[in-house]
Amino acid sequence: MKRNPFVFLFLTLLFSCSTNKDQSSLNDQEEWLSLFNGKDLDGWDIKIAGYALNDNYNETFRVEDGMIRIMYDKYEEFNDAFGHMYYKKPFSYYKLRFDYRFTGEQLKGGASWNVRNSGVMVHSQSAESNEPHQGFPVSVELQLLGGLKEGEERTTANVCTPGTAVEMDGEVNYSHCINSTSKTYYGDQWVHVEMVVLGDESITHIVEGDTVLQFQKPQIGGGFTNLKQEGRDFDNFGIVRDKEKWISMAGTTLKEGYIALQAESHPIDFKNIELLNLCGCMDKKAKNYKPYYVKDRKEECVY
């Protein structure tokens, strides 16, 4: 049978366009990484002040009903057992999203400022680099707070800076905690939070879809890494290895680091912890190009 060359050409172009369109559609899809498998704590390292790496003292961190739960029902008293659970690998440019809720009552011995208080640390030092009795890692904290009394404002998604500082309005701000503009969330309700972390450029906090805080140039140099900051030495909680080394690095911006969930005496639950990596191949000709990447990694391109 004789083929019509025009029909053959049309079908070839149609198939080619369809393939390109399908590939473009695949490239546009956001590839979120779940940091929590819903079953166990695989992929996370635990460091609680005064205890060895990955000693999950009194099952402080546990998994129940598809949630990561920070619980204190096996404790008698807190005794400054500040804890953090670190995801296994560092990130630089990314979006992070999760849901959290406070539950129950604070453990006996916790400080008054730790009632319905927890956080998620980013650009953090690793779990294994913590000094054995270190209470807080050098990091930038997205502070999570719950309302204490109806009618009294207590914002969440604030920024706190253990051993660090941030820039706002063109100036370095050494305040240990800076409030966001969020509403106050009372009771044991779930709250959805997102972060947009752009290396050492900027960090944005978003609560229930509203942007509540933005700052720039996260850097080493606050509290126990800057002896010039009187009254902010955190000597009770900020013991670090190689303190002089940290002090000498004051002003060094933080381009990447680990993500850690905080445990500081009040029970809290986390779920739906997901990350969208914004680093990758930005060459549109590559198979693994993504239009949402903002940081190019040419070495990862696949053709």
Domain boundaries, the chain: 33-280
Does the structure show a pLDDT above 90 at 30? yes
Does the structure show a pLDDT above 50 at 13? no
Q: Which two tokens stand for residue 32?
A: 């979120």
pLDDT tens digit sequence for 272-290: 999 999 999 999 999 999 9
pLDDT tens digit sequence for 225-251: 765 554 444 455 567 888 888 888 999
Give the pLDDT confidence score for residue 238 in this predicted structure: 60
The mean per-residue pLDDT over the stretch 38-43 comes to 97
Class in CATH terms, 33-280: mainly beta
pTM of the full predicted structure?
0.89
As beta bridge partners, residue 63 has 68
Give the pLDDT confidence score for residue 103 in this predicted structure: 97
Read off the DSSP letter of residue 125.
Answer: P
Whose CA is closest to 102, among 143, 133, 66? 143
The mean per-residue pLDDT over the stretch 198-207 comes to 98
| DSSP assignment string, 227-291 | TTSTT---TTT---TTHHHHHHTTT-B---BEEEEEESSS-EEEEEEEEEE-EE---TTSTT--T
Give the pLDDT confidence score for residue 228 in this predicted structure: 54
